[in-house]
Amino acid sequence: MAIELDDTGAVVIVGSGAGGGTLAGELCARGVRVVLLEAGPRIPSSEFRNDEAFAFQQLSWRDPRQATGTWATARLSPDTPAWMVKAVGGSTLHWNGLSYRIQPREFRARTEYGAIDDANLADWPLSAEELDPYYSAAEKRLGVTGTHGIPAHPPNNNFRVLAAGARRIGYRQVANDRQAINSEPRDGRPACLQLGFCNQGCRIDAKWTAANSEVPRAERTGRLDLRPGAMALTITVNEKGRVDGVIYSDSEGRRQRQRARVVCVAGNAIETPRVLLNSATAAWPDGLANSSGQVGRNYMHHVAALAFAVFERPVHMHRGITVPGTVFDESGHDPARGFAGGYLMEAAAAGPAFLSALIDPGGWGPDFAALMERYDHMAGVLLNGEDLPREDNRVSLHSSAKDQHGLPIPVVHVDEHTNDVAMREHFFRQVRRLYEAVGAVDVRDPLPLSSAHNLGTCRMSAKSGDGVVNRFGQTHDIDNLFVSDGSQFTTSSSENPTLTIVALALRQAEYLAGELGRRNL
Amino acid sequence: MTRRARRRAFLRWLAATGLTLPALPALHAFADNHAAPTDLDVFLAALLQQLFPHPALDAAVYGQGGQILAGAADADPGLRGLIVAGWAALDAAGDGPWLDRSPGARRAVLEASVDTPFFQVVRGLGGLIFYSLPEVWALVGYQGPSFEKGGYLARGFDDIDWLPEPEHGD
Ligand SMILES: Cc1cc2nc3c(=O)[nH]c(=O)nc-3n(C[C@H](O)[C@H](O)[C@H](O)COP(=O)(O)OP(=O)(O)OC[C@H]3O[C@@H](n4cnc5c(N)ncnc54)[C@H](O)[C@@H]3O)c2cc1C
Ligand code: SF4
What is the tens place of the pLDDT at every residue in A360-377? 878 999 999 999 999 999
List CB contacts (< 8 A) between A316 and chain B. Answer: 141, 143, 156-157, 159-160
pLDDT computed for residue B28 by the predictor: 42
| Of A190 and B146, more confident | A190
Write the CA distances from A255 to A250, A406, A455, integer angstroms. Answer: 6, 12, 29
| Of B74 and A504, more confident | A504
Helix or strand holding residue A401 (H, E): strand A394-402
- Residue A63 CA, ligand 2 centroid: distance in Å: 28
Q: How many CB atoms lie within 10 A of CB A289?
A: 26
The pTM score is 0.93
Write the CA distances from B126 to A167, B8, B118, integer angstroms. Answer: 39, 16, 11
CA B23 from chain centre, in angstroms, equals 13
Q: Give me the phi and psi of B13, to 5 degrees please.
A: -60, -45
pLDDT computed for residue B15 by the predictor: 47
Nearest to A9 by CA among A506, A478, A519, A473: A519
List CB contacts (< 8 A) between A368 and chain B. Answer: 51-52
Q: In this structure, which ligand is nearest to the CA of A346?
A: 1
Q: Is the CB of A449 less than 8 angstroms away from the CB of B21?
A: yes
Residue to mutate among B163, B165, B167, with most A CBs inside 10 A, is B163
- Residue A152 CA, ligand 2 centroid: distance in Å: 14
The predicted-structure confidence for A465-477, as pLDDT tens digits, reads as follows 999 999 999 999 9
**Amino acid in position A120:** N
* CA angle (B7, B12, B18) in 5-degree steps: 125
Report helix angle B39-51 to B77-92, nearest 10. Answer: 70
Residues near ligand 1 with C-beta < 6 Å?
Answer: A 14-20, 37-40, 83-87, 90-92, 94-98, 199, 231-232, 266-268, 271, 275, 323, 452-453, 485-486, 496-499, 501
Which residue among A76, A83, A164 sits closest to B166, beta carbon to beta carbon?
A: A164
The predicted-structure confidence for A328-339, as pLDDT tens digits, reads as follows 999 999 999 999
The alpha-carbon gap from B91 to the nearest alpha carbon of chain A, in Å, equals 20
pLDDT computed for residue A28 by the predictor: 98
Residues near ligand 2 with C-beta < 6 Å?
Answer: A 181, 192-198, 202, 204, 206-207, 320-321; B 151
As a dihedral over the C-alpha atoms of residue A76, residue A78, residue A79, residue A81, rounded to 10 degrees, the angle is 80
Q: In this structure, which ligand is nearest to the CA of B157?
A: 2
Domains of chain A and CATH, by start: 1-57+82-144+200-300+454-521 (3.50.50.60)
By the 8 A CB rule, do A509 and A23 touch? yes
List CB contacts (< 8 A) between A54 and chain B. Answer: 26
CA A367 from chain centre, in angstroms, equals 37
